[in-house]
């Protein structure tokens, strides 16, 4: 397809408020999930290595991490389908065939540890040679969250978009077809680098929207096709405006609510005499007459910032830290619409990954109707170590209704602990 036409289409895509560029690729929560998904895949590898992975998808560590991938808005919707155990077809054959399971674990382990593109491709070739029934390029969706600058995501809509744009005939289910498409995506990304990104998620999101029918492409051999295509493109954008505005507004309201709850926690922590840390990617958000991070720490205490898990800790929504110390009195993850899984993983990183740091109280702050989600995630076998944490669920309504009284009359964490609900196993 003509290079200028593709560039024009990408510009339309970037400006479209309902397209995946704005609703997913620029979504701040997307970045937060990379480390949590990496940690989840490491848990899968560890269980396969120890032969404790089991022979079922439901309730497994793999289900936990794939569910987190599938929650990544529209581009990854349905990402879990390829991993669901289909006993009549015996696919994907990694649950009851130990040799295949080990090969899958070896593949994930190699990709977790590698530091070169060639090593990732070698791991893909090795997995392909194992000929594991039903385990095809859908696994690239896992690799994307390990190496977003080397591995593009993969699904039916992305393949359709690529074929429509390039005239190729990539087929689903084969690694060699995927790798050929990957080469084409690399070329597309290099050609339009200024409009896309070093992260292949942008190119994949563009192809996803093309393949989903959001952007009809012209048949350049047909008379008047280009003019009709432009008319169709305008019509599609106009028709999408109503639904896009609703989805964007819903996203904005979710972000606003998330920021508002962070603001409640900020003000409460300051009123109780703590130093407060706001997630590094949220601090500049408008709140009240200023910024969300006003009055808060502009950097983590040195003993926290010097440790290997600092990138994850910096993304925890709110930390209350003892005045002039590195002791984390309380950590809060606000999970308005995002994955409960990623919040728990960040709590684990703080509790288990930062040597010498004291962290005593952990709170998942969520709408009242998400209590079931919180408890369901906490009960997963993959989170057996979470039992070591004093993790509590703090409903919005309790925080909303009692925060001012706690700020005025409270002392330390007593008031917050009184309105939060324990979610330890058996509670």
Name the CA radius of gyration of the chain, rounded. 23
Q: What pLDDT sits at residue 94?
A: 93
Q: What pLDDT sits at residue 356?
A: 46
Q: What pLDDT sits at residue 301?
A: 86
Q: What pLDDT sits at residue 13?
A: 93
Q: What pLDDT sits at residue 281?
A: 85
* Nearest Cα residue to 218 out of 2, 15, 10: 2
Does the pTM surpass 0.75? The reply is no
Q: What pLDDT sits at residue 225?
A: 45
Q: What is the 3-state secondary structure (H, E, C) of the chain?
A: CCHHHHHHHHHHHHHCCCCHHHHHHCCHHHHHHHHHHHHHHHHHHHHHHCCCCCCCCCCCHHHHHHHHHHCCCHHHCCCCHHHCCECCCCECCCCCCHHHHHHHHHHHHHHHHCCCHHHHHHHHHHHHHHCCCCCCHHHHHHHHCCCCCCCCCCCHHHHHHHHHHHCCCCCCCCHHHHHHHHHHHHHHHHHCCCCCCCCHHHHHHHHHHHHCCCCCCCCCCCCCHHHHHHHHHHHHHHHHHHHHHHHHHHHHHHHHHHHHHHHHHHHHHHHCCCEEEECCCCCCCEECCEECCCCCCCCCCHHHHCCCCHHHHCCCCEEEECCCCCCEEEEEEECCCCCHHHHHHHHHHHHHHCCCCCECCEEEEECHHHHHHHHHHHCCHHHHHHHHCCEEEEEHHHHHHHHHHHHHHCCCCHHHHHHCEECCCCC
Q: What pLDDT sits at residue 350?
A: 72
Q: Cis check for the bond before 92: say yes or no (omega within 30 of 0).
A: yes
Q: What pLDDT sits at residue 359?
A: 58
Q: What pLDDT sits at residue 243?
A: 46
Task: Please report where in the chains the tokens 């390990």 appear, as a residue.
Answer: 146
pLDDT per position in the chain (427 positions), as tens? 678 888 989 999 999 988 999 989 988 778 778 888 898 899 899 999 989 998 888 888 899 889 888 888 778 888 888 899 898 888 999 999 999 999 999 999 999 988 889 899 989 988 988 999 999 999 999 999 999 999 999 999 999 999 888 888 888 888 988 998 998 999 999 999 999 999 999 999 999 999 998 887 765 444 454 455 455 556 545 554 554 454 444 444 445 588 899 999 999 999 999 999 999 888 988 898 899 999 999 988 887 766 555 667 788 899 999 998 888 899 998 887 666 766 777 777 776 655 444 556 889 898 888 888 777 776 766 566 555 667 888 999 999 999 999 999 877 899 999 999 987 654 5
């Amino acid at each position: 397809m003509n290079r200028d036409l593709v560039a024009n289409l990408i510009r339309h895509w970037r400006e479209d408020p309902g397209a995946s560029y704005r609703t997913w690729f620029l979504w701040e929560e997307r970045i937060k999930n990379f480390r949590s998904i990496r940690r989840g895949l490491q848990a899968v590898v560890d269980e396969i290595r120890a032969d404790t992975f089991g022979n079922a998808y439901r309730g497994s560590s793999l289900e936990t991490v794939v569910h987190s991938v599938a929650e990544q808005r529209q581009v990854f919707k349905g990402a879990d389908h390829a991993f669901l155990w289909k006993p009549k077809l015996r696919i994907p054959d990694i649950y009851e065939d130990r040799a295949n399971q080990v090969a899958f674990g070896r593949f994930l382990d190699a990709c977790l540890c590698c530091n070169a593109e060639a090593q990732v491709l070698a791991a893909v070739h090795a997995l392909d040679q194992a000929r594991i029934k039903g385990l095809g390029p859908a696994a690239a969706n896992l690799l994307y969250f390990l190496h977003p600058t080397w591995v593009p995501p993969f699904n039916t809509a992305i393949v359709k978009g690529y074929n429509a744009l390039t005239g190729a005939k990539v087929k689903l289910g084969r690694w060699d077809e995927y790798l050929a498409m990957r080469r084409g995506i690399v070329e597309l990304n290099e050609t339009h680098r200024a409009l896309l990104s070093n992260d292949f998620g942008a190119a994949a999101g563009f192809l996803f929207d093309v393949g989903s029918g959001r952007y009809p492409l012209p048949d350049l051999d047909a008379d008047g096709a280009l003019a009709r295509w432009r008319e169709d493109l305008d019509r599609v954008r106009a028709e999408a405006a109503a639904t896009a505005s609703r989805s964007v507004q819903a996203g904005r309201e979710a972000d606003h609510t998330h920021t508002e709850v962070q603001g409640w926690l900020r003000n409460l922590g300051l009123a109780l005499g703590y130093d407060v840390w706001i997630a590094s990617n949220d601090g500049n958000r408008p709140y009240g007459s200023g910024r969300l991070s006003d009055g808060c720490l502009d950097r983590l205490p040195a003993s926290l910032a010097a440790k290997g898990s600092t990138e994850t800790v910096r993304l925890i929504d709110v930390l209350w830290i003892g005045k002039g110390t590195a002791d984390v009195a309380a950590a809060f993850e606000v999970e308005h619409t995002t994955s409960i899984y990623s919040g728990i993983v960040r709590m684990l990183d703080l509790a288990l990954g930062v040597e010498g740091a004291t962290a005593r109280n952990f709170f998942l702050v969520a709408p009242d109707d998400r209590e079931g989600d919180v408890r369901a995630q906490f009960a997963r076998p993959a989170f057996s170590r979470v039992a070591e944490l004093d993790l509590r669920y703090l409903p919005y309504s309790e925080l909303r209704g009692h925060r001012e009284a706690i700020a005025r009359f409270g002392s330390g964490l007593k008031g917050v602990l009184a309105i939060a609900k324990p979610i330890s196993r058996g509670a």
